[in-house]
Amino acid sequence: MKLSLLFLLLIGAILLPAMSQAAIDIEFRVTEMDTAANESALVISDSIAIKVGNSYHIFTGPLTISIYPLYQAKDSIRFQVEIVTLSPNIVTASDEKTLTKGQQVSLKLNGKNGSIYEVMLRPLSQTDRQKPIAQETDANEESIHFIFSFKRDSMADYHLPLFGAYLEKIDKLLKAQFRFYYSDKIAFALYDKPEEGLYWDKTFPISFDPAHRGMAMIYSRLDFPKAATFLTAYLLYSNWGYSHPFLVWSAAGFIDEPHFFAMKQYSSGVRIDPQDYFKPRPEWKGDPDKYTPFIASFTKHLIEKFGIDRFKIFYQDCNGLTDLNDAMSKHFGQSYQSLKEDWTKMLAGYRPKKALIGGYAELQFDFMTDFKRALPIYEYLSNLKAEDYQSGLKYAMCLYNTGSYDEAAKIFEKIIRYQDTTAEYHYLLGNAYLSAGHIKKAEQSYERALQLDSTYSQAYLKAGQIDFYEGRTAKAERRFMNALGWSPDGGIYSDIYFEWAAALRALGNESKADSLTTLGLTQAKNKADAYPDILIYRIFLGEAYLNTNQPHNALSHLSFVELNETRPYYAGRTLLALGKTNDLLGERNAALQYYRRVINGKSGALQKNEAKELIIKPFHSRK
């Protein structure tokens, strides 16, 4: 039976300190049954050692399997197993099972188009362990097998679903553009700090473990989008064997539009010789943001010039070589120097079209939220065609989300000047003005937004914040009331509750302020519980605990956001709240460090001003 599934299997084993019980090896098999055709096909089978205190996650196309060991005896283990289909039609089945020697347990779940998924698990005996577990699928289907290991509650844990979604997307692109299928197994290790036996690269979030011919991904807390992008390298590493590291990394950039980024570097005067990187990755020197586009672009040029099939033969022939020059002459009929000259000529005249790079920019902007990487593309597209206001709008938003507030304001001004505008454009311009410190201009922009849309809740909120900052407390209180009144169903209310409460408290209405504060905390909790992966809700909940004099609760949420939030405005807001939290905890020195980071970073102007005041006078609870 020809399966339509994307056979990506991603196992996440979340590691905890060693426990006294030994792990139990189990085999798992995933089968898809087509009830209409009365046929079944093996999706994949493999073995894994499970142990109480760890959890295991299996991603196989539209199916997710989670195994949570509960307790363990000498020869048995009890666990909860859960099967979930992907959205939009999410179906879940779960049960508690006990595995003992000689037994097999299974769990079934109805899928799409009449199919049924069955997961079977059984303990492995000593004899079983000596036999290889089948890892191929029926009907000559490929089986991509990923094993992830990482520590519980690490950033990898937080982003696990995104890794799976990204790998699925890349898998489809690789099949379409590289035309290969494969059956291999890749092991990843994701850590937030150096671990013994792994090469630690402080600037590149991914690295090789050459001693075991395996791979280790060094997870960077502060650079997650780049880490996800370079997961492509591992797919290629598996697909084409243990080839030269130069080709692994350069081919990884094939899908990431390297010609564009190399062209940008080339135009700015940067010159990199790819031959300098014909050596193992740990020996590379310099800034990867500079040399990676060049080596990826050079590889893509070879593929475009000679074809993917010829390139793959060349690639496979390079297995274990330390010098690629002979292989290039053999397979391409040109010396490296000649190929390099052809490539640099191409690069000097390269002018990408929107259709070519627009999709990649959208991936970075919408899916990965890597505004730094999307920024040069939207800058190029907005300059390519003056009336391309959508690219201009995203260019401005990239500037804003990377802390270039004045530059963002100029682009918003240009869009408003030449296009029929909405209240949202004036609101965005107001945000850029406010973050840059142009308070009067920001106020005017919010007023204009409200003229165009008198129900614009967030414009009322921002205008009220300016009024409160300027000492117009009664006017601010009315603004906050309107902001709450016009908030859409399901909107974010906690921010408004606390701003309104602060204004009322300043006006002497303590009773109503207390009621709003309670409502704000409740709403913040509800939002964070419903959407635990959205950082802004964690910020609001941390601030809610701060405003209700619960600094210990605030600290746990704000510290998490500090490690993950990369947008300067929200990062500054988080640092400011952490400073206040430490003041309430009596940690004045720590608080001062946070306030200085706000002042010296790319935080918003009002955040900087408040931090300067708090350096002089410690923060005290409003209540």
- Give the pLDDT score at 511: 94
44-67 mean pLDDT: 65
Query: Per DSSP, which regions of 101-237 are E strands?
Result: 105-110, 115-123, 143-151, 183-191, 207-209, 214-218
Q: How confident is the model at residue 54 (pLDDT cuts 50, 70, 90)?
A: low
Helix (H) or strand (E) holding 417: helix 405-418
Looking at the chain, the whole-number percentage of residues with pLDDT higher than 90 is 33
CA dist., res. 493 & res. 498, Å (int): 9
β partners of residue 41: 32
- Give the pLDDT score at 501: 95
Task: Answer whether 380's CB lies under 8 Å from 260's CB.
Answer: yes
Q: All domains of the chain, ordered by start, with CATH? A: 8-215 (no CATH), 245-348 (no CATH), 534-623 (1.25.40.10)
pLDDT tens per residue across span 508-558: 999 999 999 999 999 999 998 888 768 899 999 999 999 999 999 999 999
475-504 mean pLDDT: 90
- Give the pLDDT score at 163: 53
Confidence check: pLDDT of 342 > 90: yes
What is the 3 state secondary structure string of 585-601?
Answer: CCCHHHHHHHHHHHHHC
Q: Is the model more confident about 415 or about 156?
A: 415
Q: Is the model more confident about 195 or about 617?
A: 617
Tokens read off for 603 = 């935080």
- Give the pLDDT score at 494: 87
Confidence check: pLDDT of 345 > 70: yes
pLDDT tens per residue across span 461-475: 999 999 999 999 999
- Give the pLDDT score at 243: 46
Confidence check: pLDDT of 398 > 80: yes
Beta strands across the sheet bearing 39-50: 39-50, 24-34, 115-123, 105-110
- Measured CA to CA in angstroms, residue 43 lies from 28, 107, 550, 610 at distances of 11, 15, 50, 58
CA dist., res. 595 & res. 257, Å (int): 40
pLDDT tens per residue across span 127-162: 555 444 333 333 333 333 344 444 444 444 545 555
Confidence check: pLDDT of 242 > 80: no
pLDDT tens per residue across span 245-277: 455 545 444 455 788 888 988 888 888 888 777
Return the minimum-mean-pLDDT range out of 131-145, 273-287, 405-419, 575-589. 131-145
- Give the pLDDT score at 238: 45
- Give the pLDDT score at 454: 96
418-436 mean pLDDT: 92
- Give the pLDDT score at 530: 83
CA dist., res. 324 & res. 31, Å (int): 44
The alpha carbon torsion through 531, 534, 536, 537 (nearest 10 deg) reads 20
- Give the pLDDT score at 62: 53
Q: Is the model more confident about 437 or about 359?
A: 437
Task: Answer whether 116's CB lies under 8 Å from 109's CB.
Answer: yes
Residue 355's Cβ-count burial label (10 Å; 0-12, 13-18, 19+) is exposed
Tokens read off for 390 = 């959508």
In 3D space, the residue among 434, 399, 402, 396 whose CA is nearest the CA of residue 414 turns out to be 396
CA dist., res. 41 & res. 453, Å (int): 57
- Give the pLDDT score at 225: 42
Q: Cis bond leading into 618, ω under 30°?
A: no
pTM score, two decimals?
0.63
- Give the pLDDT score at 218: 44
Q: Label residue 550 left, alpha or beta by phi (over 0 means left) and psi (-120 to 50 means alpha).
A: beta
Pairing of strands 143-151, 105-110: unpaired
Question: Which 3 state secondary structure label does DSSP give 210?
Answer: helix
79-105 mean pLDDT: 72
Q: Is the model more confident about 495 or about 169?
A: 495
Question: Which 3 state secondary structure label does DSSP give 93?
Answer: strand
Return the minimum-mean-pLDDT range out of 191-195, 209-213, 615-619. 209-213
pLDDT tens per residue across span 303-323: 789 876 787 677 666 654 556
Q: Is the model more confident about 242 or about 112?
A: 112
Confidence check: pLDDT of 589 > 60: yes
90-106 mean pLDDT: 77
Task: Answer whether 84's CB lies under 8 Å from 161's CB.
Answer: no
Q: Is the model more confident about 279 or about 596?
A: 596
Task: Answer whether 180's CB lies under 8 Å from 315's CB.
Answer: no
Per-chain mean pLDDT for the chain: 74
- Give the pLDDT score at 288: 63
182-197 mean pLDDT: 43
Return the minimum-mean-pLDDT range out of 72-81, 98-107, 281-290. 281-290
Looking at the chain, the whole-number percentage of residues with pLDDT higher than 70 is 64
239-245 mean pLDDT: 45
88-115 mean pLDDT: 74
- Give the pLDDT score at 368: 56
Confidence check: pLDDT of 194 > 90: no
Q: How confident is the model at residue 447 (pLDDT cuts 50, 70, 90)?
A: very high
- Give the pLDDT score at 87: 40
Confidence check: pLDDT of 573 > 60: yes
Q: Is the model more confident about 392 or about 175?
A: 392
Q: How confident is the model at residue 622 (pLDDT cuts 50, 70, 90)?
A: low
